[in-house]
Structure 1
């Protein structure tokens, strides 16, 4: 049973973006944001900023930031079960980030719990070494029951 005491299944999970959720103020811009519906009916939404920040050294030099001035790059499959993007870093030429999200199949997690899988790949075709990769992933829960 899910938190709302109704059954929860992966069938109910969907990815989407919200074109109305944008801001010109950099601190409020969430360029890499993805909405994920809860697996139980009327369960609310998880907002995943994937990533909020992606840095390549201890000083905090940037690969991606939530305020990057590009449209939300997520491409959602027609059934809402997969999402992906590929972007070039605005700060580092020849560095690309690919992200992928998919709803997991029933039975992929113990106790048949529904879930999602997210992954990220960084591709460096440049000459600068990226000594440390530091991701910051932000989750916001809205109206989860």
Structure 2
């Protein structure tokens, strides 16, 4: 179901397992993945992780000023669908001036990076791109976490093969 995005009723024909049993198995599986591997593969980055990422990334120190208040914390680049919160920075819809145009262009580039990362998950786990109307928000969150964990496990395994 994770890999191919097929419905629980399809599993009945293939595995001879009822739809409700299939859904319960999915719930238990994603919870087990989170419980067993979450601490290692879905953890906050350590200082070593951040240092390694900064060596290969293009991150700069974060300081910015809004309404005469200087901020030194990070923020989230979002599109217009998000609410107006202090930590959400939306793109400028019709940028006027060179600075505004550069900001909008840089933010849209970052947004494309996030969309590409989500596209990688969608390519690997069809359930991520499938309609989600049949799952409640709690199980959707667990499905996404389990997919991210398994993706990180695959990346680590592929990295180890390249080194060996």
Verify same fold: TM over 0.5. Answer: no
**By percentage of residues, which structure has more helix?**
2
TM-score normalised by the shorter chain: which range applies?
A: under 0.3
**By percentage of residues, which structure has more strand?**
1
TM-score in terms of structure 1 length: 0.23
TM-score in terms of structure 2 length: 0.21
Higher Rg of the two aligned structures = 2
